[in-house]
Structure 1
Amino acid sequence: MEFTELADYPIPAGVLTEWLPCAAEDAWRTDPRPVSHAHEAHLRRTAGSRYGDVPDAWLGTAFEVRGHLEPEPFRRALERWIDRHEPLRSHVTLSGDAAAGGAIRRTAPAGAVSVRFIRHLPSAPDDICEHLEQLLADCTEPHTWPAYVFATLEPEDVDASGPSFTVFFAADHAVADAYSVVLVAHEITALYEQERTGRPAGLFPVGSYIDFGATERADAADLAGDHEAVRIWRDALTAGGGGMPEFPLPLGPRPAGASPQRRLSVRMLDDDRANRFAARCREAGHGFLAGTLACLARAAVELAGVEQFRTIAPAHTRSGPMWAGALGWFVGLRPVEIDTTGTADFATLAARAGAELRRTRASARVPFDLVGELLGIPMRPRFLVSYMDIRFVPMAAQWPQWNARTLRSRSYTHDVFLWFNRSPKGVNLAGRFPDTPTAAANVPPFVERVRTLMHEVSEDREWDTPDRGNRGDPTTGR
């Protein structure tokens, strides 16, 4: 499943319908469970600013469902799905002065949320895309409820393969992480079929991210500056001269004003090559992420001449079966530093990457924003490399047939994020980087070099001793 922006998803002419969750005022109850560290920090960062320099304000998905849209079964399916995931029935607001801390949660019980729909007149593709962009941005604002929205699109022209309609879903990042939105297509499709035909959806029970956040708070209540996770981050920042890891090549000056980042989507490996790449990683005694980081480090040596490749890598915090299918922000962050000196071969770099991932594992188990509080410094990712294996998500093999994609909002930050996603079709990379001539000259060639290196590994080719590059001209980075 590709991870992309709405502008890159094919949208035909047709009829757009908005599906809007509603709840009566007397349905809400004060909920004493505390908000997770990530959620509260997100609310504070976005308070008072639409473009609060927060990457990925919303995440979502789009997928097709075969057959004509039947409004009542679809409406009931959405209501069942909202009942299934408690965060969709809960809302957090900041209390008083942000500096004083504290937040207030209110939650509605299952069955209290109904879904109403607004059906629009037939429209052209560009008009629909523009309307959707605004709808998804307006209805995923983190300080209001609901911070999520659904839409469907019924095309005017039905091709020979039969009728279908497209479902769009988007939610504020505090409601769902990238893995959460990967689950949406299967769950909503299954619930819709249940409401339409009576066939049971067969979904496994899930836990509530609200409970997870409360437990996380309790576990971290006595965390101090000498904790292993804090020490790992302190050492990483010190090694980087006090700053967060940055992309190894120049990005140019920050654009004036709110300039959306550029995006890219690259097929890194097909399924056959991905399997062979994974086999090479196993031969080296490490996993797919370690091998990918080895290729990134090698590219950084060749193009930027770095001796220490530094980045940030997310790790999921879904520590038990009750969280496997839950909706929420189950993500920890850890620093990664790979020593590239004195080595030329893939196996050695993969081994160093694997050892580093093991060494920093504990840092991803402690909330990233809490670590920043304990260190007394603002911590924002500048260069992030994510890997997610989604081959075994229910109905993953159907994603091409469903034209399923994960979506992300536009971003306005001055950083580089690279997401490697492995699906049954292979490995796709989605990325975003600043809209500057320097970044445009450096980031895509860097990604292409990583792709070539991954191909060489999959072909069992050995790497020669690299000619170390340099940061070069500040305009081109070459």
Structure 2
Amino acid sequence: MEFTELEDYPIPAGVLTEWLPCVAADAWSTDPRPVSYVHEAHLRRTAGSRYGDVPDAWLGTAFEVAGRLEEEPFRRALERWIDRHEPLRSQVVLSGDGAVGSGGVTRRTAPPGAVSVRYVRHLPSAPDDIREHLEQLLADCTEPHTWPAYVFATLEPEDGDASAASFTVFFAADHAVADAYSVVLVAHEITALYEQERSGRPAGLFPVGSYIDFGAAERADAADLAGEHEAVRIWREALTAGGGAMPEFPLPLGPRPAGAVPQRRLSTRMLDDDRANRFAARCREAGHGFFAGTLACLARATVELAGVDRFRTIAPSHTRSGPMWAGALGWFVGLRPVDIDAAGATDFATLTARAGAELRRTRASARVPFDLVGELLEVPMRPRFLVSYMDVRFVPMAAQWPQWNARTLRSRSYTHDVFLWFNRSPKGVNLAGRFPDTPTAAANVPSFVERVRELMHEASEGREWDTPEHGNEGASATGR
């Protein structure tokens, strides 16, 4: 499933309908369960600012459903889905002024059946007007300090033809409600529940746990964590190796733009399914997985283009440690440092082995909340260069995504960093990225990605790499 922004999703003329969750005031009750570390840190980072400088403020999805929209079955399907995922019925608010140490947090939760969904249907509109309205709707209704921090919308053909081929569903939520894996589950679950309401055929969805319970367990497990813990030690060593700084993109990005300038974005097909399978086979021959091979190509590109023998980045890792979390909605993500020594490594197998060893070495660091590690180290920690890999081939109904025109969506970002997301689906491997809107970054990031793509193709074809010619050595330390 391609990961993109709303601006790149095709939107025709039609009729837009907003689907808005509501709860009676007396349905809320105080919930003593603590908030997860990442959720609380997210709230504190965004406190006092309606539009904070926080990357990925919301995540979402868009997909098509066959047939004409039937309002009542769709409304009931959304209510069933909200009942299924407890975080959609819960709100966390900060006490005090939101600053660290100024107070705690308070949670309120509503029981299943308490949320009703109302809808507001608009007049037929042109594509540009619909896109503008949607962008504002998704931004306004995913604010992390209010409930609901999520919203639904549908778009139907404007002629109202009963034989219409399909309608489009949009969903967006604040990142504290859903991570990237959560949103790839949405299309299947809502489509299945809608069909259940229309036909009576059971949706067949597996039971899921509550991210609220996950957060409470995470707090309990980390209660006695101290500075000598393995995860803290790994992060301390990573920061020391970087001179106290988080990893940065290996090529110059140029000076930060004055004012709030949206980042540029890119999306490119890295490998088709056949090449992806052959690339995976090369990784297995080297004794490691697909992500290790991808990191090997990134490290090789760094040697060639930046003239340095170390590739450093931050990599997300899921924390869905049990079957009850497999389909749960929430922010199940840990972060780990990655530091690959590419010195003397001229072949794919050697670099892949080094990348695989590094992923094993830092595995424990992703199991401890990133923000807690920052507290223990007393260092502000925020990713500047992140590389993600997610394999979604086996998500229910993944093969239907092209037919459904399904995409994952992300909000605009205004930060001065580089994030790269490699997503493997039944169609192959797609890379989505965002980077600063500067002439320097616009020249360096796409060319870096293109070289990585070429290296992945070479590996998939079984071609060996020659001894690299170092690029502009030291350039990565300039122009920021």
Q: How does 1:46-61 map to 2 (within 5 A)?
A: 46-61=46-61
Q: How does 1:329-340 map to 2 (within 5 A)?
A: 329-340=331-342
Counterpart code for 2:22:
C
Deviation at 1:156, TM superposition (A): 2.7
Question: Deviations 1:266-325 (Å, cap 9, x if unpaired)?
Answer: 000000000000000000000000000000000000000111100000000000000000
Say which SS state the counterpart of residue 292 (structure 2) adopts: helix
Say which SS state the counterpart of residue 254 (structure 2) adopts: coil
Counterpart code for 1:236:
A
Question: Deviations 1:333-356 (Å, cap 9, x if unpaired)?
Answer: 000000010110000000000000
Counterpart code for 2:361:
R
Structure 2 CA distance, aligned partners of 1:21 and 1:163? 27
Q: How does 1:118-129 map to 2 (within 5 A)?
A: 118-129=120-131
Counterpart code for 1:80:
R
The two structures have a TM-score, normalised by structure 2, of 0.98
One of 188, 212, 215 as aligned partner of 1:213: 215
Q: Does 1:315 align with 2:295?
A: no
CA contact (8 A) 1:249 1:471 kept: no
Deviation at 1:134, TM superposition (A): 0.2
Question: Deviations 1:220-246 (Å, cap 9, x if unpaired)?
Answer: 011101100000000000000100000
Structure 1 CA distance, aligned partners of 2:57 and 2:264? 16
Structure 2 CA distance, aligned partners of 1:322 and 1:447? 36
Structure 1 CA distance, aligned partners of 2:105 and 2:351? 45
Name the structure 2 match of 1:135: 137
Counterpart code for 2:314:
I
CA contact (8 A) 2:64 2:406 kept: yes
Distance 1:476 1:158, change over 3 A: farther
Counterpart code for 2:171:
F
Q: How does 1:128-277 map to 2 (within 5 A)?
A: 128-156=130-158, 163-277=165-279
CA contact (8 A) 2:337 2:362 kept: yes
Deviation at 1:470, TM superposition (A): 1.6
Name the structure 2 match of 1:327: 329
Counterpart code for 1:63:
F
CA contact (8 A) 2:314 2:385 kept: yes
Q: Does 1:13 align with 2:10?
A: no
CA contact (8 A) 2:250 2:476 kept: no
Structure 2 CA distance, aligned partners of 1:434 and 1:471? 22
Q: Which runs of 5+ in 2 are unaligned?
A: none
Deviation at 1:48, TM superposition (A): 1.3
Say which SS state the counterpart of residue 72 (structure 1) adopts: helix
Counterpart code for 1:51:
Y
Name the structure 2 match of 1:75: 75
Q: Which runs of 5+ in 1 are unaligned?
A: none
CA contact (8 A) 1:180 1:326 kept: yes
Name the structure 1 match of 2:402: 400
Counterpart code for 1:224:
A
Structure 1 CA distance, aligned partners of 2:427 and 2:390? 14
Total equivalences in the alignment = 477
Say which SS state the counterpart of residue 287 (structure 2) adopts: coil
Distance 1:453 1:375, change over 3 A: same
Counterpart code for 1:349:
L
Q: Does 1:36 align with 2:36?
A: yes
Distance 1:265 1:158, change over 3 A: farther
Structure 2 CA distance, aligned partners of 1:75 and 1:473? 55
Structure 2 CA distance, aligned partners of 1:303 and 1:88? 45
Say which SS state the counterpart of residue 291 (structure 1) adopts: helix
Deviation at 1:135, TM superposition (A): 0.1
Counterpart code for 2:169:
V
Q: How does 1:99-110 map to 2 (within 5 A)?
A: 99-110=101-112
